[in-house]
Amino acid sequence: MKKLALILAALMAAGTLTSCGGGAGENGTLNLFTWEGMFPEEVLTEFEETTGIDINYVNFDYDETMLMKLQAANGGDYDLIIADDYIIETAIAEGLVQKLDKSKIPSIGNVNPLYQGQFYDPTDEYTVPYGAGVQTIVYNPANVGIDITGYADLWDASLADSVGIISNYRVINGMALKVLGKSYNTTETADIAAAGAKLNELAPNIRLIKDDYIQDDLVSGEINAAVMYTSQVTMAKLTDPSLEVVYPKEGIGFGIMAMFVPSKAPNADAAHKFIEFILDPERGAKCYEYLGYYCTATASEPYITEEYREFLTLPAEFSKDNMEMIENITPEADDAHIAAWSEFKGLCE
Amino acid sequence: MNRKKQRTANLAVLPMYLFSLVFVAGPLVYMLVLSFMTRDGFGFQNAFTLENYAKIFDEVYFATFLESLKLAVISTAAVILLGYPFGLGAALLPTKYARFFRTAQMIPYFVNSLLRLCGWIIIFRANGLLDKVLMAAGITDEPLKLLYTYPAVVVGMIYVLLPFMFLSVYQVAEKLDLTLVEAARDLGAGKVRAFLSVTLPLTMPGLKTGIVLTFIPSMGLFFIASILGGNKVVLIGSLIEEQLMRAHNQPFAAALSVALMLLTGVVCGILMKKRRDV
C-alpha cells in the first residue's frame, strides 16, 4: 500500500515543504507525517487558508521508518500521522497514540462502517480510516484467452510467463491460501507450507515480481494479468480503461490506511480540525480520486466521478462477512510465510 | 623536528579515525551483536542465540548465497573478457584517442545507475522503443521478451561494472613499457608468447584490482536483479532487504549481512594473497 504516483507526489511534497516549511502560521502548525502524495495540493492549501494553520508536511517511505521515528520522539513531534493498519496496531500497543476527541469530529459518521471496528482499533477510539487497498486481479482481456474470475485462474497454463505480481508475501502467499480455502491470517504453519507448495506451481506463469510501476508492464503488454496495489490498479485503469478488474471469487483481502494523533502531539487540536476537514464528503471524494485508493467514507461515495467509481468504491455485495483484513500474525507463522515466499521466488527464474 | 611532524600528522588523521570509529566500526559492531539477538515483534530482545546463523544453512536461504556467488562469478568473468582487452587496447592508442576512450567510458556515470537502468526498461520493454523499431522494419512481428530474464540481469551487471575493470587495466597498461614487448619479440617470442610472458604479468596488478573492484560490488548489487530480472533472481542482498523491511527480522538480516561480508572477505583475501605472490 506504499506505492503511489511517486513523481507527482514528490513534486507536490517538495512544493508543500518549501511553501510552508518556515515559521508557524497565525493559528499554529500542523505537523503532518505520512507518505508522499497523500493529498492534492489544493486541499492542503485550502486548509491553511481557512484555518490559518500552517501544514508542515513531513514524509516517510516505509511504515517501519515512521514507527522508529515516532518511538524516538516518544509520541511527540508529530500532530497527525497516516499509516498502514498493522503498524498502527503496534503503535497503539506501545502507548504512542492518543484517543480521539470525537466531539471535535462531528462528521465521524461519514465513515464507511465496513472499514471500522477492525483488528488494529476494534473500538474506533484511536483512528479514522483514510483510504483502503482492496486485493483485485487486473488483466488485459485482449491478450488473455480465459475469463478470470478468481485467483485459481492465474494458475492456468495459458498464462505461462505472463503474470506480474507485487512482492508483498502476505498478499501473494495469501492468494494460494485463498485458493486452498484458508484464511489470510492462518497461523497454522502446515497450512502456510501447503500454500507455499501450491504457489510453487504458479512459478512458470510469473514474468515479473515488483512493487514499483508494475502497472506500466500491464499497460505495455509485458504482462497480461497482475495482482498489484490499489493505487497501481487505479493508474492502470486510467491509462487503459479496457483492462478488467476482478474481485476474486475466493474472497477479498484488504488493508486500511488510517489517521491517528500521537500521544504527545504538540497540536492535537489542529489534527482534529484536519480530520474533520477531510471528512467533508465532497473534499474527501477529491482526495480519494487523487490518492487512488478505495473510498473509506460512505458520504463521499456519491461525489466520486463516474470514471473512478468502478475501482474506488466497492460493489454493494461486499461486507465484513466476505472480506478479510491482512493482520499481524505470530513470528512462527511469519517465518513460514517468508520461507515459502523465498522458495517460490527461487523457482520463478 | 621529526616528532613534532609526527604529532601534527597524528592530529591531522584524528578526525578521520574518529569518523571511521563512529560511522564504520560502530554500525559493524552493532550489526555483529544484533546478529546474535532474538527476534521480537518488529524489534529484538537481548537474548543470545545462534539460531540466526543456523537458519542461513536452511536450504531456501543458502540457495541465495549460491545464486549470488554464481552471478558474481559470471559477471566478473564477462567483465574480464570485455574489459581487459578494451582497457589494454585503449591505453596503447595514441594519447589523444586514449583520453577520448577514457572520458567516453566515464560520461554515462555522471548519471545515477538506477536512472540509467530505468532508461533501459523504456527501450527494451514489450512494445518499447526497440520493439517498435523492429516491428516497423518488419524484422519481428511480436514483442520480444528481453527484460526480466537471466541474460538481462547479466548484461545489466556488465554494464554497471565494466568501467571498474576498464579503468584499472587502463591505468596500469598506460605505464606499460612497450620496449619490453619489443625485446621479447626480438628474442624470438611469438605474439601469444610475448603477451603471456610480458604484457599479461605486467598488467596483472590492474587486472587483479579490476577483479576485486568488480567482484565485491557484484556480490551486493541486487537492484540490477530487481529491476532487470523482475526480482526472479533472488540474491543475498534482496533477501537481506526483505528480512529487514518486510519480515521485520532484524537479527536474521544482520546475520545474513555478516555472512555476506565474511564470504566476500574470504574471496578477496584469496585474490589479494595471490597478488602478493606475483
Q: A112 with A298: CB under 8 angstroms?
A: yes
pLDDT value of position A4: 44
Q: Is the pLDDT of residue B255 over 70?
A: yes
Q: Name the residue facing A169 among B41, B150, B246 (closest C-beta).
A: B246
The pLDDT of residue A147: 95
In this structure, chain A runs to a length of 349
- The per-residue pLDDT for range A240-268, each reduced to its tens digit, is 999 999 999 999 999 999 999 999 999 99
Strands A29-34 and A80-84: parallel
Task: For CA atoms B43, B47, B48, B49, give the dihedral sign.
Answer: negative
Q: Give the tens place of pLDDT for each residue, A330-345.
A: 989 988 999 999 899 9
For chain B, give the longest Cα–Cα distance.
80
Instruction: Please answer yes or no on whether B126 and A217 come within 8 Å at the CB atom.
Output: yes
| B88 or A349, greater pLDDT | B88
Q: Looking at chain B, which runs of residues are DSSP E strands?
A: 38-40, 43-45
Can you tell me which residue has the cell 579515525?
B17
Contact A338 B242 (CB under 8 A): yes
What integer best gives the mean pLDDT of chain A? 91
CA distance B2 to chain A (A): 49
CB contact under 8 A, B148 and A208: yes
A185-223 pLDDT, tens digit each: 999 999 999 999 999 999 999 999 998 889 999 999 999
Nearest to B48 by CA among B71, B63, B60, B32: B32
Q: Which is more confidently placed, A290 or A27?
A: A290
Residues 6 or more apart whose Cβ sits within 8 Å of residue A251:
A178, A322, A323, A324
Domains along chain B?
A: 60-277 (1.10.3720.10)
DSSP annotation of A99: P
Taking CB atoms and an 8 Å limit, are A210 and B247 in contact across chains? no
Per-residue pLDDT of A93-120, as tens digits, reads 999 999 999 999 999 999 999 999 999 9
Task: Give phi and psi for B276, each to the nearest 5.
Answer: -65, -35
The two beta strands, A127-134 and A252-260, are antiparallel
Closest-CA distance of chain A to residue B127, Å: 6
| pLDDT of res. A195 | 97
Q: Is the pLDDT of residue A280 over 80?
A: yes
Structural domains in chain A, sorted by start: 6-132+255-312 (3.40.190.10), 134-253+320-348 (3.40.190.10)
Going A297 to A300 to A305 to A310, the CA torsion angle's sign is positive
Interface of B with A in 207-226 (CB under 8 A): 226
> What is this model's ipTM?
0.81
Mean pLDDT, rounded, for A222-241? 95
A1: burial class by Cβ within 10 Å (0-12, 13-18, 19+)? buried
Query: What's the CA gap between B65 and B71, in Å, rounded?
Result: 10
Write out chain B residues lying below 8 Å of A339, CB-based: 58, 60
Give the predicted TM-score (pTM) of the model: 0.84
Asked if B115 is an interface residue toward chain A (Cβ–Cβ < 8 A), one would say no
Average pLDDT of span B62-76? 93
Res. A21 pLDDT band, cuts 50 70 90? very low
Residue at grid coordinates 480520486: A289
CA atoms within 13 A on the CB side of B100: 6
CA distances B137 to A184, B59, B130, B132, Å, are: 49, 48, 11, 8
Q: Residue A342: list chain B partners with CB under 8 A.
A: 60-61, 64, 234, 239, 242
